[in-house]
Amino acid sequence: MFDPRAFRDALGHFATGVTIVTTRDAEGEPVGVTVNSFASVSLEPPLVLWSLAKKSWSLPAFQQAGHFAVHVLASDQQALSDRFARASTDKFGGLDVVESEGGAPLLAGCAAVFECSVEHRYEGGDHLILVGRVLNFSSAEQAPLLFHRGRYAVPDTEGLAFFGRRLAGAA
């Protein structure tokens, strides 16, 4: 075995985008979580994937949901990322939200949004891996919000410009 902290630190060298994934729970209430484990899988058919920690408070909603939406955050949406990263029941309060055809809440101002139906769910160690078939998408010419070595970053003409605070437990 190797040191889990050292492993996490090494993984942090891979810069990722920051997303919020939304759905509705069994009672129809909106649920959302900040995620950086998002990737494209296939163009034909159009598939994307993301993963959710099994200890996440939102796990039951995503285990039963038939649809979800992935929001690729724009560089000016760090506060939104922080809001959805916390365990809370009022993440959507005061936000401008519309509903996708599949019922997932859609957030405004994102660099891209992918509306998906659940194609597969896989066990992945301490995470649940969800594969979605993209039913609709939109994108805007906005710089994305990135995450690298425990900090937010935005693209810059000369590399990465870091800003924001380090997350608790991050390198």
Query: Which CATH code, of 3.50.50.60, 3.10.20.740, 3.20.20.140, 2.30.110.10, is assigned to 4-162?
Result: 2.30.110.10
Instruction: State pTM to two decimals.
Output: 0.88
pLDDT tens string 115-166: 999 999 999 999 999 999 999 999 998 889 999 888 898 876 455 555 555 5
Pairing state between β 112-124 and 151-156: unpaired
145/154 Cα distance (integer angstroms): 5
Each residue of 131-167: b (16+ CB within 10 Å) or e?
bbbbeeeeeeebebbbbebebbbbeeeeeeeeeeeee
Tell me the two tokens of residue 103. Answer: 């019922």
Alpha helices in 101-167 (DSSP H): none
Percent of the chain at pLDDT > 90 equals: 73
Q: What is the mean pLDDT of residues 66-82?
A: 96
pLDDT tens string 82-122: 999 988 778 999 998 999 999 999 999 999 999 999 999 99
